[in-house]
């Protein structure tokens, strides 16, 4: 493939070399097993061995078709084993079939691969179980890059192509995650293809207008393709309301070229929300009596309350911020202060001695990893803020699973107060998040 790409760029490649490569690939026999039972080992080992054989055969067939000597019969036999391939190779198979004049089979295979992809705010979300490779060069980014390359070739007007590009861009942002050369090559290659495609279609103008009935196509703004526009518009006169709720109808036109866009709507509800909402994250928040751990919505003035949060994510989330607004009758306690002696269970003699002995001269290794450590306990939350009216947590990465956080507050003022929902979101993808339930919290006077 390197020699083929070099020839396409104008480099001098001897035809005899490509001919010998073609002969070598043709000489390799099609040794695909009929079933998984024909491979030795445990069932898991047999499945992985079969995936490796299918991946090797796929690369061989792609090489032959790229060299102008396709093996159509071998491609048909490989297509029958699609379900035995890893997800990455199924996408690569669609790209192989996309090299044919008739792309109907390629579209079908690509559509089956897209079934496993979900939207996560402004980007797509691919389950972690699919981001594995059959060969000896693993990469978590290459499967996403293959999907982008295959989609740009077969379905360049795919409605989720913009969110897929955003996934590549976001994944290529430097972070603490470990990358290998496969990841770097994938990011550079596919983003270069996107840049070249953008330059080839950068002569059109995008216009946005209102699609609300009775507006008559009221124009909102225009933008050239070479510009990155982020206008802010008031919602007055653009909202449609019916029995099912409110909607923002817009008409976006750009001639015959596809346009990728994101619309962010900021709204203030007239009534405080009390029902939970999950858009990629599940947020649970409840209060417990500090003395016995019982869930409560009512407490006496002066008592201690423990606030508990549980954040559940179905897939890896990055740059997550969690904000828990307190009822006005509660005041959060900073347990690191010496002026908080009433919370005895949180203090141990060993922890006090360790804090006094540490002079700050040694930087622990965990300072450079995810999360944070306190008294020997790891937490995914790298940063925590205690304010008068809220508690804020921040995590660089939350892998698939559930994560908890807790704090202690004191009931300082009697009365009946609003219990605002706790809210979590990706800081750079705010439409991906969730909130807990809300309601009322009471602080009764102490006799």
Of 145-159, 229-243, 258-272, 324-338, which range is least confident?
A: 258-272
Strand order in the sheet with 415-419: 298-300, 439-444, 415-419
One domain for residues 193 and 213: no
Residues 238, 172 share a domain: no
* Residue 210 falls inside a structural domain: yes
- pLDDT mean over 370-379: 67
User: Residue 270 domain-assigned?
Assistant: no
pLDDT band at 248 (very low <50, low <70, confident <90, very high): confident
Which pLDDT value is given to residue 441?
A: 95
Per residue in 218-229, pLDDT (tens digit) is 888 887 765 666
54 domain-assigned: yes
Angle at 383 between CA 382 and CA 385, to 5 degrees: 160
Long-range contacts of the stretch 185-190 (C-beta < 8 A, 24+): 186/139, 186/141, 186/142, 186/144, 186/145, 187/141, 187/145, 189/145, 190/145, 190/148, 190/149
Strand, coil or helix: what is 61?
Answer: helix
Q: Are residues 327 and 302 in the same domain?
A: yes
* Structural domain boundaries enclosing 90: 2-200
What phi and psi values does residue 224 have, to the nearest 5 degrees?
-80, 155
**Residue 69 and residue 155 in one domain:** yes
Section 102-112 average pLDDT: 96
Residue 330: is its pLDDT beyond 60?
A: yes
- CB contact at 8 A, 116 and 127: yes
Binning pLDDT at 50, 70 and 90, where does residue 375 land?
Answer: low
Whether the Cβ atoms of residue 403 and residue 412 lie closer than 8 Å to each other: no
180 vs 423 pLDDT, higher one: 423
Q: Which of 200, 221, 244 is the last residue of a domain?
A: 200
**What whole-number percentage of the chain has pLDDT above 70?**
85
3-state secondary structure of 425: strand
Q: Is residue 262 part of a domain?
A: no
CA dist 309 and 106 (Å) reads 46
Distance CA 18, CA 5 (A): 12
pLDDT in the model for residue 76: 93
* CA angle (252, 256, 260) in 5-degree steps: 45
pLDDT value for 176: 45
| 268 domain residue, yes or no | no
| Separation between Cα atoms, residue 363 and residue 138, nearest integer Å | 33
Give the lowest-confidence range in 43-47, 82-86, 292-296, 345-349.
Answer: 345-349
In a domain, 375, yes or no: yes
Q: Above pLDDT 90, what percent of the chain?
A: 42
**311 pLDDT tier (thresholds 50, 70, 90):** very high
Same domain, 115 and 55: yes
Same domain, residue pair 294 and 243? no
Q: What is the chain's mean pLDDT, rounded? A: 84
Asked whether residue 182 falls in the same domain as residue 227, the answer is no
Looking at the structure of the chain, the number of domains it has is 3
Quick one: 292 and 217 in the same domain?
Answer: no
Q: Is residue 306, in this structure, part of any structural domain at all?
A: yes
Q: Note whether 174 and 95 are same-domain residues.
A: yes
Question: 175 or 333, which is more confident?
Answer: 333
Highest mean pLDDT, choosing among 135-139, 146-150, 443-447: 146-150
Query: 3-class DSSP state for residue 298?
Result: strand
Give the integer Cα–Cα distance in Å for 421 and 441: 12
Query: Pick the residue with more confidence: 323 or 380?
Result: 323
Whether 360 shows a pLDDT value over 60: the answer reads no
Per-residue tokens: 323: 């904000």
pLDDT of residue 347: 46
Predicted structure pTM score: 0.73
Least confident of 146-150, 170-174, 383-387: 170-174
Alpha carbon distance 226, 199 (integer Å)? 8
Residue 263 in domain: no
- Tell me the sheet residues that pair with 409: 305, 332
Q: Is the pLDDT of residue 282 over 90?
A: yes
Please state the rounded mean pLDDT for residues 140-156: 92
- Are 247 and 212 members of one domain? yes
Domain boundary among 159, 180, 200: 200
**What tokens were used for 209?**
């207008």
Average pLDDT over residues 416-435: 92
pLDDT number for residue 39: 67
Same domain, 223 and 316: no
Within this chain, do residues 281 and 426 fall inside the same structural domain, yes or no?
yes
């Amino acid at each position: 493939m390197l020699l083929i790409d070099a020839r396409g760029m104008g480099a001098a490649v001897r035809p005899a070399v490509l001919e010998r490569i073609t002969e070598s690939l043709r000489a390799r026999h099609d040794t695909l097993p009929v079933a998984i039972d024909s491979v030795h080992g445990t069932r898991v080992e047999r499945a992985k061995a079969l995936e490796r054989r299918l991946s090797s055969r796929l690369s061989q067939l792609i090489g032959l078709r790229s060299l102008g000597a396709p093996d159509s019969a071998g491609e048909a036999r490989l297509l029958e084993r699609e379900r035995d391939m890893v997800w990455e190779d199924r996408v690569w198979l669609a790209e192989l079939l996309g090299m044919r004049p008739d792309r109907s089979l390629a579209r079908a295979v690509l559509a089956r691969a897209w079934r496993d992809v979900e939207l996560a705010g402004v980007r797509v979300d691919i389950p972690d179980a699919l981001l594995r490779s059959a060969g000896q060069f693993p990469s978590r980014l290459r499967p996403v890059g293959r999907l982008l390359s295959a989609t740009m070739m077969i379905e360049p007007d795919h409605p989720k192509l913009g969110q897929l590009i955003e996934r590549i861009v976001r994944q290529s942002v430097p972070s603490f995650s470990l990358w290998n050369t496969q990841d770097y090559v994938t990011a550079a290659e596919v983003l270069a293809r996107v840049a070249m495609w953008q330059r080839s279609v950068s002569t059109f103008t995008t216009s946005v207008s209102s699609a609300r009935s009775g507006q008559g196509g009221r124009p909102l703004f225009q933008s050239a393709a070479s510009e990155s526009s982020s206008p802010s518009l008031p919602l007055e006169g653009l909202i449609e309301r019916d029995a099912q709720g409110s909607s923002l109808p817009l008409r976006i036109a750009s001639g015959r070229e596809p346009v990728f866009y994101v619309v962010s709507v900021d709204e203030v509800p007239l009534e405080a929300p009390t029902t939970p909402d999950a858009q990629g994250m599940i947020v649970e928040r409840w209060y417990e009596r500090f003395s016995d751990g019982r869930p409560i919505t009512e407490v006496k003035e002066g008592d201690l309350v423990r606030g508990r949060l549980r954040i559940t994510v179905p897939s890896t989330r990055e740059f997550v911020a969690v904000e828990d607004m307190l009822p006005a009758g509660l005041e959060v306690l900073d347990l690191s202060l010496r002026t908080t002696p009433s919370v005895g269970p949180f203090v141990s003699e060993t922890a006090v001695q360790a804090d006094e002995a540490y002079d700050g001269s040694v930087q622990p290794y965990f300072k450079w990893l995810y999360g944070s450590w306190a008294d020997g306990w790891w937490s995914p939350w790298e940063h925590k803020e205690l304010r008068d009216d809220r508690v804020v947590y921040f995590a660089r990465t939350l892998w698939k699973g559930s994560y908890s956080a807790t704090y202690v507050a004191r009931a300082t003022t009697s009365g009946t107060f609003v219990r605002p929902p706790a809210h979590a979101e990706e800081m750079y993808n705010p439409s991906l998040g969730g909130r807990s339930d809300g309601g009322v919290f009471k602080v009764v006077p102490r006799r």
